[in-house]
Amino acid sequence: MPGTPKPLRPRKSPRQQRSAETRERIVQAAARVFIEHGYAAGTTNRIADEAGLSIGSLYQYFPNKDAILLELTRRHIDEGRRAVAAALDRGLPADWDERVALFVDTALEAHRGDPRLHQVLFEESPRPPALLAELHSLQKALVETIAELLRADVEDHLPDARLAAWFLVSTTESLTHRYFADRPTDDVSVFRDELIALLTAYLHRQVPAQK
Amino acid sequence: MPGTPKPLRPRKSPRQQRSAETRERIVQAAARVFIEHGYAAGTTNRIADEAGLSIGSLYQYFPNKDAILLELTRRHIDEGRRAVAAALDRGLPADWDERVALFVDTALEAHRGDPRLHQVLFEESPRPPALLAELHSLQKALVETIAELLRADVEDHLPDARLAAWFLVSTTESLTHRYFADRPTDDVSVFRDELIALLTAYLHRQVPAQK
DNA sequence: AAAAATACTGAGGAATAACTCGCTTTTCTA
DNA sequence: TAGAAAAGCGAGTTATTCCTCAGTATTTTT
């Protein structure tokens, strides 16, 4: 029934301290259940069970299963956003090689939680259009920011700054993601260095003679 | 019930020409349905409907839903395998830049069908362990082959040929995949050239002075 | 052209999972 | 400390989906 959008907001705002904790318990339990069972087999009954609650209580706080997933996804996105903001706050290095390193580290940082959860959230689960749009605009903003930085430094050496920025962002995200799924090396720092090598090689080809 | 593996083989081998066509209709309809509705909402009833068949007929040819998915996935994999084999048959260029171009083109070729189907098959659907193993060993073989080629050309310039090969394969697959989801450029050939630039830049850093 | 084999039908059984609601327990307030 | 409000409970309802099976239609064989 595509004409009936599901409610995604909580039906009750916590009044007592106890209920705030309960809500949190549900979210934490959901993360564990999704990690272990995946989205489809991560039933609401199982989540309630894992949280040590009755199914009824769960539905006091979340109107449906997707709302729980949405909460988890939002938290994940916010972590990423905060990581980027914090990095920018600490000041952007002038050198592109260092910028790339910072960028890669931030991406790794964002995936430092449980990669399996990340996989469930972003690949296995149905995402409501609103969230999809949010994700898309977030990535687009990041690409645009980096494109601006590229343009500022390179003037007309670069045929298509936005495309280059897209490559930087996509490569970093995709390979980081894939690293945790595949684990081609046990040592994260080896992966980190190699990814940085890949990106800087690309940039140096496009951005000659950075100082 | 993890203890009860589902049968995945067809329950009936076609005797009449008609039934071979019916089987094919089911597979084609399943592809369309999965593309439009995704895996979970791509119900067997919907597939039967799309194929213009009764649900009972569908179950004459496939013992369960996953068997249909498996058939689609196997076909997809076989296409990729054939593309690689054909490329190798035509002879491998001596120059690494051309090898990279060939590699990228083969990847693009494999995704030339419907990227959305590819996404459903490889990211959204539950894959039986047997298929997962098949996929993994296929990718591993490809990584190993390329690692061998790298080692043959570079002797000890390369700290970790297997990791470099992993980066080549993963970057190509991930970015190709992502390209079709994001469409950062309308022109595929622009993307192609940029991806080749990325990979050759990486290789030239690792494989200095190729001739 | 009758009999046999193959192919197709679709209502409904069986299973499962999302979600409700009347009731109980706990906490807060005056 | 009594009444009210908030939080919690869980058997049961609703909805959906996979899949069966008894019967019908079509094709092949003799």
Calculate the angstrom distance between C1' of D12 and CA of A62. 20
Distance from CA of B181 to the nearest CA of A (A): 11
What does the pLDDT read at residue A7?
A: 52
Across A146-175, b (16+ Cβ under 10 Å) vs e yields bbeebbebbeeebebbbbbbbbbbbbbbbb
What does the pLDDT read at residue A17?
A: 82
* Cα gap B61→B48, rounded to integer Å: 11
Instruction: Flag if A184 and B202 touch (Cβ within 8 Å).
Output: no
What does the pLDDT read at residue B80?
A: 86
Question: Can you tell me the mean pLDDT for B50-66?
Answer: 95
> What amino acid is encoded at B53 in this protein?
L
Question: Can you tell me the mean pLDDT for B89-93?
Answer: 91
Which residue among B124, B163, B171 places its CB closest to the CB of A171? Answer: B171
Calculate the angstrom distance between C1' of C21 and CA of A51. 22
Instruction: Flag if B190 and A123 touch (Cβ within 8 Å).
Output: no
What does the pLDDT read at residue A163?
A: 96
Contacts of B132 (CB under 8 A, 6+ apart): none
Through-space distance between the first and last CA atoms of chain B, rounded to whole angstroms: 58
The more confidently predicted of residues B84 and A52 is: A52
> What amino acid is encoded at A36 in this protein?
E
Calculate the angstrom distance between C1' of D5 and CA of A58. 19
Question: Can you tell me the mean pLDDT for B64-75?
Answer: 93
Q: Which of A113-127, A179-193, B41-55, B181-195 has the lowest mean pLDDT?
A: A113-127
Chain A residues whose beta carbon lies within 8 Å of the beta carbon of residue B197:
202, 205-206
B 46-65 residues with CB below 8 A of A?
none
What does the pLDDT read at residue B178?
A: 93
Residue B130 has pLDDT above 80, yes or no: no
Instruction: Flag if A171 and B38 touch (Cβ within 8 Å).
Output: no
Residue B159 has pLDDT above 90, yes or no: no
What does the pLDDT read at residue A206?
A: 65
Instruction: Please tell me which residue of chain A has the smallest CA distance to B190.
Output: A163
Instruction: Please tell me which residue of chain B has the smallest CA distance to A119.
Output: B123
CA A29 to chain centre: 20
Distance from CA of B94 to the nearest CA of A (A): 22
Instruction: Flag if A163 and B185 touch (Cβ within 8 Å).
Output: yes
| Percentage of chain B modeled with pLDDT above 70 | 88
**3 state SS for chain A:** CCCCCCCCCCCCCCCCHHHHHHHHHHHHHHHHHHHHHCCCCCCHHHHHHHCCCCHHHHHHHCCCHHHHHHHHHHHHHHHHHHHHHHHHHCCCCCCHHHHHHHHHHHHHHHCCCCHHHHHHHHHHCCCCHHHHHHHHHHHHHHHHHHHHHHHHHHCCCCCCHHHHHHHHHHHHHHHHHHHHHHCCCCCHHHHHHHHHHHHHHHHHHHCCCCC
Question: Can you tell me the mean pLDDT for B124-142?
Answer: 83
Stated pTM of the model: 0.85
The more confidently predicted of residues A88 and B194 is: B194
Assign B26 to helix, strand or coil: helix
Tens place of pLDDT per residue across chain A (211 aa) = 333 445 555 545 556 788 999 999 999 999 999 999 999 899 999 999 999 999 999 999 999 999 999 999 999 989 888 988 998 899 999 999 999 999 999 999 988 888 889 988 888 887 777 778 888 898 999 999 999 999 988 655 567 999 999 999 999 999 999 999 889 999 999 999 999 999 999 998 865 443 3
What does the pLDDT read at residue A113?
A: 86
* Cα gap A197→B129, rounded to integer Å: 35
* Cα gap B59→B64, rounded to integer Å: 7
Q: Give the dihedral of Cα atoms B135, B136, B139, B142; nearest 10 deg.
A: -110
Instruction: Flag if A178 and B160 touch (Cβ within 8 Å).
Output: no
pLDDT digits (tens, 9 = 90+) for B21-36: 999 999 999 999 999 9
Calculate the angstrom distance between C1' of D20 and CA of B128. 24
Assign B54 to helix, strand or coil: coil
Q: Which nucleotide is nearest to B37 (CA to C1')?
A: D17
Chain B residues whose beta carbon lies within 8 Å of the beta carbon of residue A126:
38, 40
* Cα gap B20→A90, rounded to integer Å: 65
